[in-house]
Amino acid sequence: MSGLRAGITPGGDIPSSEATRRVAVVGLVALVAAAALDVTGRIAEVGPARFTLYQMLALALTLFALWQLGTKRATLPKTPVTLPLVAFIGTAALSLVFATELAPAVVQLASLASSVVLVLIVVTLVREPREGALVVGGVLGVAAVFGLLAVAEWADVFALQHPVLFTSGYGIRARVTFLDPNILASFLMSTILLAVPLVASAPMKRITRALGVIALLAALIGLAATYSRGGLGGLVIGLVAVAVVMRAPRRAKLAFAAVMVVAVVAAGALIFDARWVEENVLGAGETGSATNRVYMVEGALRMWADHPFGVGLDNYQVVYPAYRDPRAEAGIVESHTAYVTVLAETGFLGLLAFLWALGAFLLRTALPVARRAHDATLHALATGALAAALALSAQAFTYSLEASKFWWFAIGLGTAAWCMASREAVTVSPAGEGESSLT
């Protein structure tokens, strides 16, 4: 019997009211929007701890989810990612023993724990495909606004933050509310990929689909305005995954792929010129950004060789100066690679647990649902979550995204889709024993 059946009990839940479902949808959209506020969403700072609007909303939604569970309006089944996530948090907590500075390590552990809690919140609150579609639609609306703000910033018309960041010789790297344009790129990229399968194949009104296309284009142009190679590369990888997994005739898949290629090229043409492409894409290996990343990774690997169980969460920046290559820029104290950061800070056990969690989600959670779910909206949700998580996993090779709320939000949606597919697949026999057709 497939793991899709594990922990699923057909029936037994108290049906949620329309008001409760509305609170869940609005709350999740607001939570992602709060995460997108990034540095502009900070409320207060106490030592290394930074209190944000996201944390306040996450606490409120956590209490709401606990109420749902306590009143049996929702259940929290065992999923393919449950044990890997517990192992990842466990190894992260273990690394505190080896931390040179304990305070930042504790703060980072709280951040990682909140990411796992985000997965649980989404799984608890998103109970039906329609709810998942509404959440993605709301987040897409937020991304469209951010995309328009990014374009305004790139055009030097309006910026929420000053001073703006310039790409040498080309123009402004849009960042909107974020400290770093690459994180804005991860938000826009992952939202585009979550929404594309729904807009392309899920049943909806024509006006809704048209609005979805417009929002996708706004987010896409905003993504181009970040000048993020990792974000654009991840988008291409995610779109390929959507084209492969999306349930449609081959001719429709080819048409989808053609439209996506044209859209990406057109968006890029509005922002990039031939010189930028030559220097930053064709000659990426020769740029200072690329060589600095090589030096930082080499330093991180030397750090891990001396500390096989890690140097402690968020202690990379503390220990790195002793391992810094003299040719690397002194002001950069990140490995800019999530997997190397996890290895250096939590050791080989932490990296194994992290890769286990990603593999369990991509291969055992999202992919089976995307391939076998009968409901078209559920299929689109799983496909989008798979593509977004895969794209962020690719971008993580160029940036430290291990604590990214957008990454874990995609994992939460995909896991929620797994739970919905399990309930869809379970039929109750006369004897009361559940049988799953998803084996």
Residues 6+ apart with CB under 8 A from 68: 16, 20, 74, 124, 125
Spatial contact of 105 and 311, defined as CB atoms under 8 Å apart = no
Question: 3-class DSSP state for residue 16?
Answer: coil
For range 402-406, the mean pLDDT:
91
Please answer whether residues 389 and 414 qualify as being in contact, where contact means their C-beta atoms are separated by less than 8 angstroms. yes
Angle between helix axes 338-361 and 82-94 (nearest 10 degrees) is 160
Give the model's confidence band at 398: pLDDT under 50 very low, under 70 low, under 90 confident, else very high.
confident
With a pLDDT cut of 90, the percent of the chain lying above it is: 51
Residue 270 pLDDT grade (very low, low, confident, very high; cuts 50, 70, 90): low
> Distances in Å between the alpha carbon of 394 and those of 74, 235, 239, 277?
33, 9, 13, 20
List pLDDT tens digits, range 86-106.
999 999 999 999 998 998 899
**What is the percent of the chain with per-residue pLDDT over 70, rounded to a whole number?**
82
pLDDT digits (tens, 9 = 90+) for 33-44: 999 998 788 877
d(CA 190, CA 216): 11
Given a cut of 90, whether residue 251 has pLDDT beyond it is: no
Residues whose CB is less than 8 angstroms from the CB of residue 86 and which lie 6 or more positions away in sequence, other chains included: none
Backbone angles phi, psi at 173, to 5 degrees: -90, 110
Q: What is the pLDDT of residue 274?
A: 55
